[in-house]
Structure formats: structure tokens, C-alpha cells
A and B are shown apart, each in its own frame.
Chain A
């Protein structure tokens, strides 16, 4: 079956992604509400929205980093610009997210064009440092210089006395898409399980699927091939008489638009834009996501984004009291020992666990989580068909 100009393999791949995305509220809720393992459930709206939004952010970043090899350390700047655009549209027009999201994409594209035009004159580490400098500059401007525009450290919020000229009489007073209110959910209780189907999540998820499709098309297009050529050997490409800069600039602007869209969606889910969204740690986070999942692969960035957000939100909430609940049945000595050890890996120390896992992945699975998946799949296939390997697996695999 061919679908929207994709090959058969890609169509299957896209359909799998769509199914997984739409079923996320069920997949992420594997444990019944009252069990002790409910702590690990992640199927609540805020986190699911974050998975989708950071998935978009990472997919966009991967178009630049995964395809051209240019490592930008300043992508958080576009995230912040997108958020501010959306909140300003709330303040001026009303709570419909559409004008804000469109503005977020346009503004971040212009911003990316400006930063990219200057930064792409250099490559390698110099490019990274230039983008980092721009992002840090934007952060400081937002934090304390352009405060009338950004409201500084407190973050930009909507106030009751804002104009909101397009706001109708009965329009919802929180972000909505033509009446579809983002923070409304439907709950489904099935036995001990509780599933939350949130409007905001489905809105971001559908956008995520669309932009995933766009990135799939870019990966498979001649343009994508050209970007890959830049990553492989830019000098050689230049010697053939091709000017590579328009291509890198286009990739930079596209990934900036993705980041702006992600930032805009963050504000669409939660109507606040803070300056720390632009800090260098946020730029670093997306780099981690892409590397952890597998740079240059289609699915990797999404996996990486989900992995990091899961740790940030689930592991950081396991405190000593929760640990006592788990180990309470053990004798006192062992209980205290286990709590003492676990204490260093959960709660406020979740960074440590993430750091260790990141190291393990980078050392043993240089291709990221996707490589891990491929190895498992390969091992399984080998088992099934004996040692009858036809050799196709040994070739450097395509972009998945």
C-alpha cells in the first residue's frame, strides 16, 4: 500500500507511529491505580503533552544535527521565541491557539534565518559556540532587558485586563482550538485502571504526526540526500562546485521552525512563557535527547525525548517516603540499607541515574536506543532463521 507518496516500508512505519501515538494514554498507564507501581504510570496529560512536544523539538533538531552534522547549542532560543509569540497572541487576540502557533512558526523562522545566516559562516565547534552565544544572549535579553516584552523572571502571563480583542462572549478562558479546550480530558475507568484522554494531548499528537511525516519526506528527498552529503564530506561537496550554504541554512531554518512550533505548543498547553526555556541547559537537553535516542534516525529523537522527560517527571518524584512504602516489608536493617542506596538515584538525584544511563548508552550503543532496538530485533531474527543470514542486516541500515 502506498500512502501520501511514501514507500511501502515507510507507510507501515508511519502507521505504526500513528497507532502508538494515538494509543499513548493507554500504553503509558500499565499499572492499576492503587498498586504501588502506579508511581511509574506516565499517562497523565501534562507528561504526555511533553512527550509529544519534545518529540517535535527533537525531530526538528535531528533534521539539522542528524542530517547535516551541524551541532547547534542554541535551539532553546527558538523554543522560547515560539512560547512568547503564542502568549502575546493570547494577550492581544484571545485564547485560540491558531494565530499564536502560526506566528510562532513565522517568528522563529525569521529568527533562525538571522542566527543561521551569521552562524553558518563557520562549521564544527565554532558553529556550536556561535549558536550557544546567540541563545545565551536571547536568554539574558528575555530575563532582564526586554522585560516589557517578556515579563522577565516571572514569565509572561495573561491578565484579566489584557485587550484580547477577538475573544467572544462565551469563549473559553483557557487555550483552545476553535472551542476544543486544551486542558479538558475524558476519563475512562476500567477495573483498577484509569485512562485519561486529554484534548491537548491529541492536539499536540496530531501535529507531531504531521511534522513527523514532513521530516520523513525530508529524509527521503533529494534535499535530504544533499544534507547527508554535507555531513559525510562537505569539502568534497564544495569541490564539485556546489554551494552548500543554502542547504545548511534551509535545514537550520526548518529545524528552527520545528523548535518554534514546539515552544508555541508548550504555551498552548500551559499559557505561560518563561525565560528559562531559552537557557543553555534547555539547548543541551535536546542534544542529549537526540544522541540518546540515536542521531540521524527517524524514531531516535522521539524515543530520546520520551526517555528524558520520563526520568525528569517520574523519578524526581520518588522520595524517601515512597521508598519506605516499597521496602517496608523487609527487615529494618535491609530496608534502611536499600533506602540509603536508592536515595542516591531517585528524588532530587534523578540527574545521576539519567547520567549513568546516558553513559551506558553512549559507550555500548553509540547509535542510541534505536541501535539497541535493532540489535534485539536482529538477535531475535537470527534465532528464528538459524544462522541463515542473507547479509542485508550487516549493511549500514537506512535511516530508521
Chain B
């Protein structure tokens, strides 16, 4: 019925054809640009890669609003927002180096694969020079690696894992957001004042990179206070029902429950912990307490009354009194009608910082931009004086310790600021063991040439 007729001549012919096919793409010379996607027209394109579907879609859409606002301000539309309070004054509302800022958007779906596909299409099809956004550390690490290979700048959005600027740090990647270690360092003194030094903690941890690094950071910060860690239970991401994980907590001898969860998981686990009566319970002769190390406005809104009195930390909050925050909240509020979230803030600031660095460097070349961002000190962006450390591309600034408000007046002030932890307290060495130790390195800056 079927017979294979492979003759020597046929095989050679096929081989030659394949060879010609392989050689075909190399006949044409590649374009002679100095670096990846060098902007040649009168516009420059940014890629805003955020989750628009999936569990973090709400945050992604808020990031997108802020990024759009940042582009408007760079192009001189609107009231200028934080450009008026930013300590560097090189951006004057005429675009960047005479080019109008433009942007394309993509959906990361909170999946590394989808995020990289979307980022690659931005780089290859739309010719972006910078990618900004994201709402998950796994995605941030994946896209950061891609930008490094492609030779463009990655300005990370919401990513809290130590790894982003720790063991996975890259020369082309920059993070403004704070990290799990800083959360632990900022929370510890507040927890000591509120709950004392003799406590026994029980951790429920989301079972992925971010959860692990946060748990490790909080455990070491609380153990330094004299607390004891009773148990650490890993829970699957997106579990929905945490009752089977919460039931054993009360009889474990612990008197503090630490929820290393984010987004919908945190809303569910906290709500269930409260429903199970943990917050009214007594253990070891003390009131049982719950802690959520990383807070966001959207989580707070989701958890409702259950977060009253619960401690956590944030990168930034719209209720801060400084000028920069007020300018940003005003222009965001006028455009969209509600205050911005922390993830919106970090993306807005990252976009402005990138534009500023390009202007100061006088070039869109990623290596020149990276050099301008490294060890850059600035103020007026809502977090007080800030340093973009050159050794690991992490921003150092004050960290906010938050508490679920006892008497919220609107749906936007469900969290209140307990303390603004000064930056000295959350500093660490670039070769800190939680950040990859001595082995971690940024590698070489890549401009794709």
C-alpha cells in the first residue's frame, strides 16, 4: 500500500532544498540600528503589559489607568501630576527627547507564558523600547528575563518577591516596588509594640516563589524579636476554601496566624479565619491575632470588615500627606473618579522615572538609560527621598505599616497608616543571603546590538 521511495538523488535534492531554505533568511542583512527598537520617527512606544484577565485583572486595569495618565503627563496633557513635585526637572511636558510618547497594551493573564508572548509581540511587532507593568512576581521574573535577552528596559510593576531583584536580578530590569524582606523589617518593630516578644506564629503560605520568600522574610524578622514559629503550611494557589488549613491552627499552640497570601486567596483565607472565630479566641493566655504582611487596597475592599485591626505593609497609600502623593491622587481622581491603588502608583512612577532617565541620558539606548537610573536619588514621588540602588536595581524608600481601619468612612479608607518606617530600617546588603547571596549578579547590560 505504501512504499518509501527514497533514492540517493532524491535525498540529495531534498537536502539541498533544506539547506537553501535554511540559508534564505541570512541572505538579507539585518537593519543597522544601534540598539533594539531604536525609535526613528517622531514617536516612541512603551509596552504596558498588565493582567487584564484572570485573578489580578482588577489591579492590572488600575495599572493601565495610571500608565495612561503618566503618558499624558509626559506629553504635556492634563495637570502634570507628579512632574510638578518630582525633584528632577528635565521633563517639561514636550514628550521625551522631542518625541511624543505612545503606548501599546497587552494581557499577561497572570501567566508567565502568556506574558512573555505578549511582551515578545510588543518588542517584535510594535517596536517598544520599554515594558512596564505586571502584578505577579512569577510574571515579573519571566518578563524581566525576556527583556534582558531582547535588549530593552523592563520597569517592573507590582512584584514583591525577593527574587525579582535578588537571585533573578537582571541588568535591564528595575523595580520601584518594595519587597518581602522590607515588609518583614518594617512590620517587626510594630508587631513587637503591639503583641510583645513572646508569641508563637503559625504561617499559611501560598505555595509559590513569592509566598516562600515572604514567609522566609517574615519568619526571620519575627524570630529576631523572640517569636517562635510553630508551623508553616503551604497552601495551593487559588484554593478558594481554606477551612481545612485553618481548623488545626487553634489547637496548634500558636497565638498568631500569619497569612502569606495575596489577592483572592488572602480575601478568602482571612474571611474564613474570622468566621472560625480566630480573632475572638484566646491562646496561651493572649488574644489570638492575625497578620497579613502584604496589603493592597483591592484586597482590603474584598475582605470588608474582617480586616479591622489586622496589621500589614504597603509600598504606598493614597492617604499619605506629602505633595507628590496629593498631586498624583488629584489628577488620577479627576480623570477616573476614585483614588489610585498602590500598584497604579508604582507603575505611574516607573513610567515617569524611565522617561526622566532617558532625558537625562540623552538617549533611548537601554545601557545609557540603565546607567542614568543606577544610584539615582530622587524625591517628590510620594515615598519621600528614594534611592535606585545600582548594585541590584532595587528602590530604597520608606515602607508603610498599615492596619485595617476601625471606623472606615468611605470604601477607600478601609486601611489606615500606622507608621512610616524610615528607609534606614529596611536597608540590606546587595549580597544578603535572602537575595541570592554572593552568587547573584546583574550580568551585563544588553542593548540588543
Q: How far is the CB of B118 from chain A (nearest CB, A)?
A: 8
Q: Across the interface, which residues of B come within 8 angstroms of A203, CB to CB?
A: 22
Nearest B residue (CB) for A223? B2
Among residues 186 to 204 in chain A, which have CB atoms less than 8 Å away from a CB atom of chain B? 186-188, 196-199, 202-203
Q: Is B113 touching A186 in the complex (CB atoms < 8 A)?
A: no
Q: Across the interface, which residues of B come within 8 angstroms of A143, CB to CB?
A: 207-208, 237
- The stretch that binds B, out of A108-116, A294-302, A312-320, A385-393, is A312-320
Among residues 227 to 281 in chain B, which have CB atoms less than 8 Å away from a CB atom of chain A? 234, 236-237
A347 within 8 A of B: yes
Nearest B residue (CB) for A318? B105
Q: Is B30 touching A184 in the complex (CB atoms < 8 A)?
A: yes
Nearest B residue (CB) for A175? B149
Q: Is A5 touching B3 in the complex (CB atoms < 8 A)?
A: yes
Q: Is B111 touching A46 in the complex (CB atoms < 8 A)?
A: no
Q: Across the interface, which residues of A come within 8 angstroms of B31, CB to CB?
A: 187
Q: Across the interface, which residues of B come within 8 angstroms of A50, CB to CB?
A: 117
A342 within 8 A of B: no
The CA-CA distance from A157 to B139 in the complex, in Å, is: 12
B163 within 8 A of A: yes
User: Contacting B28 at CB < 8 Å: which of A3, A144, A187?
Assistant: A187
B424 within 8 A of A: no
Q: Is B2 touching A274 in the complex (CB atoms < 8 A)?
A: no
Q: Is B4 touching A5 in the complex (CB atoms < 8 A)?
A: yes
Q: When A183-B149, A184-B30, A348-B57 are in contact, do A272 and B124 touch as well, CB less than 8 Å?
A: no
Q: Across the interface, which residues of B come within 8 angstroms of A274, CB to CB?
A: 111-113, 138, 142
The CA-CA distance from A199 to B30 in the complex, in Å, is: 12
User: Contacting B107 at CB < 8 Å: which of A183, A221, A348?
Assistant: A348
Q: How far is the CB of A108 from chain B (nearest CB, A)?
A: 18
Q: How far is the CB of B269 from chain A (nearest CB, A)?
A: 16
The CA-CA distance from A198 to B120 in the complex, in Å, is: 13
A247 within 8 A of B: no
- A201-231 vs B: 1/0 string, CB under 8 Å? 0110010000000000100111000000000
The CA-CA distance from A50 to B118 in the complex, in Å, is: 12
Q: Is A144 touching B207 in the complex (CB atoms < 8 A)?
A: yes
The CA-CA distance from A243 to B117 in the complex, in Å, is: 44
Q: How far is the CB of A143 from chain B (nearest CB, A)?
A: 7
Q: Is A188 touching B28 in the complex (CB atoms < 8 A)?
A: yes
Q: Is B112 touching A155 in the complex (CB atoms < 8 A)?
A: yes
Q: Is A153 touching B124 in the complex (CB atoms < 8 A)?
A: no
- B171-211 vs A: 1/0 string, CB under 8 Å? 00000000000000000000000000000000000011110
Q: Is B124 touching A161 in the complex (CB atoms < 8 A)?
A: no
B319 within 8 A of A: no
Q: Is A2 touching B5 in the complex (CB atoms < 8 A)?
A: yes
The CA-CA distance from A206 to B14 in the complex, in Å, is: 12
Q: Is A154 touching B105 in the complex (CB atoms < 8 A)?
A: no
A75 within 8 A of B: no
Among residues 121 to 141 in chain B, which have CB atoms less than 8 Å away from a CB atom of chain A? 121, 124-125, 137-138, 141
Q: Across the interface, which residues of B come within 8 angstroms of A154, CB to CB?
A: 112, 137-138, 141-142, 163, 168, 208-209
Among residues 281 to 296 in chain B, which have CB atoms less than 8 Å away from a CB atom of chain A? none
The CA-CA distance from A2 to B3 in the complex, in Å, is: 11
Nearest B residue (CB) for A347? B52
Among residues 325 to 362 in chain A, which have CB atoms less than 8 Å away from a CB atom of chain B? 347-348, 351
Q: Across the interface, which residues of B come within 8 angstroms of A151, CB to CB?
A: 209
The CA-CA distance from A321 to B46 in the complex, in Å, is: 14
B337 within 8 A of A: no
Q: Across the interface, which residues of A come within 8 angstroms of B22, CB to CB?
A: 180, 202-203, 206
Q: Across the interface, which residues of B come within 8 angstroms of A188, CB to CB?
A: 28
Q: Is B209 touching A153 in the complex (CB atoms < 8 A)?
A: yes
The CA-CA distance from A332 to B361 in the complex, in Å, is: 41
A234 within 8 A of B: no
- Most B CB within 10 A of own CB, among A155, A160, A183: A155
Residues of B within 8 A of A (CB): 1-6, 10, 14, 18, 21-22, 24-31, 52-53, 57, 103-107, 111-114, 116-118, 120-121, 124-125, 137-138, 141-142, 145-146, 149-150, 163, 168, 207-210, 234, 236-237, 439, 441, 443
Residues of A within 8 A of B (CB): 2-5, 22, 41, 44-47, 50, 140, 143-144, 151-155, 157, 160-161, 174, 180, 183-188, 196-199, 202-203, 206, 217, 220-222, 270-272, 274, 276-277, 312-313, 316-317, 319, 321, 347-348, 351
Q: Please name 19 further chain A to chain B contacts, defined as beta carbons within 8 Å, in addition to the given A155-B141, A186-B25, A347-B105, sorted by A numbering.
A: A4-B14, A5-B3, A22-B21, A143-B208, A153-B208, A154-B142, A154-B163, A154-B168, A157-B145, A180-B22, A183-B150, A197-B24, A202-B22, A202-B24, A221-B1, A222-B1, A274-B142, A312-B117, A316-B106
- What are 8 A-to-B residue pairs whose CB atoms are below 8 Å? A143-B237, A144-B236, A153-B237, A202-B21, A203-B22, A206-B22, A271-B149, A277-B113
